[in-house]
Chain A
């Protein structure tokens, strides 16, 4: 099809602009159908009664007068704020250690610190039961408090959100200008003062941005509170209870709207702050290099490796839990929990479905999102359309997975929707997951594209090469590392996510992450752990393959640059 179109385009050059417009409109269509329409259906649903009649804010009034539901707002805020404080604090210490000290084993620590991303958020929750449950090894540590509740939720959240925070803060702290520190030293400023007046202000946007990301992740997470929340309910689990437990879709929509508010607010504030951020790094900045300081370095090594040990302990516990015969009464080891003996959730078939979904999302999502980002970034004209698209591409970040999943039911399960046929198929899972993780991929694409010289497009246009050829022959290959990053991000997140897909799978499309939850619900804790571990190792394998491939590409790109230099010389 593309070949035919390109022949068409070269004959009538003006039709290329038309085609570009069509492509832009198609991108708009994807986000409108995949995001705006479903959210709109959900909003409508929250204003209707069970039979579909408009009742205004009656559902919201009912919500406010149900103490068990309203209580979750405070619970959610408490858990999210506490997790944010802990995660940002710890991540700042570690990021400082990585960027500003000569602590040993930085590379190993960074690798360990990334591991939680590869596991579904259900995994830490399962481990915590084995560590701190009534039969847990560290039962005494909690005194008489139960791990089922806020304590468990907060620890679990900290585990899986930590890598996100660490990545943002490491980037924020790496941008430093050594000249400022030299000046401070020359003026005899004490170390703590230059920390307060140079380091912190320099990282403040990173810190604020990090706090918002962590808060949003924490308040919208479903996996951790689902498994270890016990009687402590939060907004995300309320949506699930209302929809799956009681099939009260109206109340599910109401809770979704309420959960959308803090996430949206956090999104708006973050955007506002980003806009105020001015480049602090001028071209003349000299990167700051840490000098060894044995005591400080040893302190940071200790802090970082304590956290690293905690991460490994939690993952190790899940692996151990998946291998024990009958915990805690028969501790001999076995692989039998990995057979899943036709247990709830679909066993290996679910894992295979997850793999299919993750590869589909990685492949389709990468191409679509990168291509759309390129259209938005590198097209001329249609300014307002492109700005609108950019805003739409930013929006999925603010929409919690539970909310998006539920919105998909409302929109796609209407009998009169022409897209009704995708309900209950793999296609709806692909679309939903793609939209759910759109923003980060979009931003990564835009960053990569901004680094490319706009001359490429201009040169292509002046040579009368159609835009898709420039895209295929120049833009895509040059941006390959970013494209690979996006695809592995999509793959790993698709493998591990529960929140959005939990409403959309069907007997043919059961997924591994959902199976973990169902196995746990039914009380097959060892099999739940086994499935979570399986997801973890699958993501790890893909991540390792990605790292190897990126290295290979970069060395090849490097050698290409070197040969071109030698040939010019």
Chain B
């Protein structure tokens, strides 16, 4: 570099740093939380702990998972907050999570806590809420195309739905993967692949994120978007002409969960965040978007969510979903990747 460059470059670097040099502790948090909620999450946390500034790194579940795995030897994240439990199980298998029992974790529904804690170990991760698959169905476009509202997963394979269905790519999207994993668990692998082959014929395209199909259905680019209930409920409240369909054969779900990444420099702040993430206030926050949360007795009904949602949620086996994740995704890619949005 020429002499001038070096001087100028260092001043530019100083400029870039000066803006963020004020807060006391900075915590890098990787997340797949819906981005319209990120600021709210940080604000609520800062009401309790104003000295810790959260630096979000947000992307779809698959991307964040892949990124964490790639950074295994040189971790950049301090905490993961709001990532699929199936992903955290994969990270745990790689030995990337640091065990910690957040203060108050005993109060949570045991289903939401790393099963290892039952053997006396500190949990590697704790769940926060459940997010549930659903179909966003655009009633206006459905009528225009002469379609009837689907009630089961199989309905989406009816010939008249050809080109009108959009679903997330399970490689990038946690919602996409929970669909695939839940079909596998509902019907067995062979039948699930058969179903997806038929569904593939009707799919217009596979999107990068799990909320995109619902957004596309809401704006009439598609009639039916395989997505999740949170996004559907929120879009409906914004005035989108959609119905949120929970197929009667059962819906897949996954937990959003939090964990500390091994090797981070801000251990104390990371533990503080974990403590807050299992608190009652935090669970009330989760409940603003999700009908099922980890803290018993907190959940209030949410606008546009069906009341019987818990009955429809399948008996999901997260460790199976985590252990078979790589294999299923590879097979999925081999079969269907041609219709995917570039991720």
Contacts and interface: CB of A to CB of B under 8 A. Distances in A.
A344 interface: yes
A43 interface: no
A258 interface: no
Nearest to A364: B8
Contacts of B240: 326, 329
A328 interface: yes
A368 B2 contact: yes
Contact of A326 (B172, B204, B239, B340): B239
Contact of B35 (A30, A238, A343, A364): A343
A367 B36 contact: no
Interface in B48-103: 55-60, 62-63, 66-67, 69-70, 73-74, 76
Nearest to B42: A342
A2 B214 CA distance: 60
Nearest to B70: A247
A371 B211 CA distance: 49
Contact of B58 (A231, A344, A415): A344
A39 to B, nearest CB: 18
A308 interface: no
Given A233-B342, A341-B39, A426-B16, A329 B140 contact: yes
Nearest to A229: B342
Contacts of A303: none
Contacts of A363: 8
Interface size of A as a range: 35 or more
A356 B16 contact: yes
Interface in A285-343: 326-330, 341-343
A231 B213 CA distance: 14
B73 A508 contact: no
Nearest to B329: A246
Q: Quick one: which of A30, A230, A367, A524 has the most chain B CB within 10 A?
A: A230
B240 to A, nearest CB: 7
A424 B216 CA distance: 33
A425 B333 CA distance: 34
Contacts of B38: 342
Contact of A523 (B13, B40, B216): B216
Interface in B171-207: 171-172, 204-207
Contacts of B62: 245-246
A136 to B, nearest CB: 9
A2 B3 contact: yes
Given A135-B221, A237-B342, A329 B241 contact: yes
Contacts of A413: 74
B87 to A, nearest CB: 13
A26 interface: yes
A328 B140 CA distance: 11
Given A229-B342, A244-B343, A427 B9 contact: yes
> Of B60, B169, B213, which is in contact with the most chain A CB atoms at under 10 Å from its CB?
B60
Contacts of B162: none
Given A249-B70, A342-B40, A68 B219 contact: no
A506 B7 CA distance: 24
A371 B209 contact: no
A430 B1 CA distance: 13
B39 A230 contact: no
Given A231-B205, A341-B36, A364-B5, A329 B239 contact: yes
A550 interface: no
Interface string A516-547: 00100111110000000000000000000000
A368 B240 CA distance: 52
A509 interface: yes
B35 A371 contact: no
Contacts of B5: 26, 30, 364, 367-368
A523 B57 contact: no
A507 interface: yes
B219 A327 contact: yes
A27 interface: yes
B107 interface: no
The A interface, classified by DSSP as helix, strand, loop or mixed, is helix
Contacts of A26: 1-3, 5
A415 B73 CA distance: 9
B4 A371 contact: yes
Nearest to B206: A231
A247 B69 contact: yes
A464 B48 CA distance: 68
B137 to A, nearest CB: 15
Interface in A1-52: 1-2, 5, 23, 26-27, 29-30, 33
B208 interface: yes
A433 B194 CA distance: 48
Contacts of B55: 507-508
A415 B74 contact: yes
Among the interface residues B2, B3, B56, B70, which one has the most CB atoms of the partner chain A within 10 A?
B2
A436 to B, nearest CB: 16
B338 A68 contact: yes
Interface string B302-343: 000000000000000000000000000000010001111111
A133 interface: yes
B229 interface: no
Contact of B215 (A415, A508, A523): A523
Contact of A342 (B8, B36, B212, B222): B36
Contacts of B241: 329
Nearest to B164: A134
A304 to B, nearest CB: 34
A367 B205 contact: no
A194 B33 CA distance: 66
A225 interface: yes
A38 B169 CA distance: 31
Contacts of A430: 9, 12
A426 B17 CA distance: 8
Given A229-B341, A341-B39, A522 B3 contact: no
A225 B343 CA distance: 11
Interface string B227-262: 000000000001111000000000000000000000
A238 B208 CA distance: 13
B222 A134 contact: yes
Contacts of B340: 231, 233, 241
A426 B285 CA distance: 34
Interface in A387-420: 413, 415
Interface in B9-29: 9, 12-13, 15-17, 20, 28
A372 B2 CA distance: 8
A342 B35 contact: yes
Contacts of B171: 245-246
A386 interface: no
B289 interface: no
A128 to B, nearest CB: 12
Given A330-B239, A364-B8, A525 B219 contact: yes
A2 B3 CA distance: 9
Given A230-B341, A247-B70, 10 more contacts: A68-B337, A231-B205, A326-B238, A329-B140, A344-B35, A371-B2, A426-B12, A507-B57, A521-B207, A523-B209
| In the A-B complex, the 6 residue pairs with the closest CB atoms | A523-B215, A342-B39, A237-B342, A426-B16, A245-B343, A247-B66
Interface of B: 1-5, 7-9, 12-13, 15-17, 20, 28, 35-36, 38-40, 55-60, 62-63, 66-67, 69-70, 73-74, 76, 140-141, 169, 171-172, 204-209, 211-216, 219-222, 238-241, 333, 337-343
11 contacts: A68-B338, A135-B220, A233-B342, A238-B342, A240-B343, A244-B343, A247-B70, A326-B219, A330-B239, A364-B5, A523-B212
